[in-house]
Amino acid sequence: MADLYAENGLPSAQGLYRPENEHDACGIGFIAHVKGHRSHDIITRGIEILMNLTHRGACGCDSETGDGAGILVQIPHAFFQRATQHLGFSLPAAGEYGVGMVFLPVEPLARRTCEGILERIAREEGLEVCGWRDTPTDGDAIGRVARNSQPYIQQVFLSRGSAAGSEETDTDTLERKLYIVRKRAAHEISNSTINDRGCFYIPSLSARTIVYKGLLLAPQIARFFPELNEPDFVSALCLVHQRFSTNTFPTWQLAHPFRYIAHNGEINTLRGNANWMHARQSILASPLFGPDIAKLFPISPKSASDSSTLDNVLELLVQSGRSLPHAVMMMIPEPWTNHESMSAEKKAFYEYHSCLMEPWDGPASIAFT
Active site (catalytic) residues: 26
Phi-psi region of 197 (alpha: psi -120 to 50; beta: other; left: phi over 0): left
Q: Which residues pair with 201 in a beta bridge?
A: 103
Other beta carbons less than 10 A from residue 193's beta carbon = 7
What distance in Å separates the CA atoms of residue 314 and residue 147, rounded to the nearest whole number?
A: 32
Report the length, in residues, of the chain: 369
Residue 137: CB partners within 8 Å, gap ≥ 6?
153, 224, 225, 226
What distance in Å separates the CA atoms of residue 130 and residue 93, rounded to the nearest whole number?
A: 13
What distance in Å separates the CA atoms of residue 144 and residue 141, rounded to the nearest whole number?
A: 10
H-helix or E-strand spanning residue 29: strand 27-32
H-helix or E-strand spanning residue 367: strand 364-368
Supply the Cα-derived Rg of the chain in whole angstroms.
20
Handedness of CA 307, 310, 315, 316 (dihedral sign): positive
Handedness of CA 138, 143, 148, 151 (dihedral sign): negative
The dihedrals phi and psi of 115, each to the nearest 5 degrees, come to -60, -45
What distance in Å separates the CA atoms of residue 47 and residue 9, rounded to the nearest whole number?
A: 28
Query: Which segments within 146-280 are labelled E, that is strand?
Result: 152-159, 201-206, 209-214, 237-242, 261-265
Candidates 57, 42, 51; CA nearest to 221 is: 51
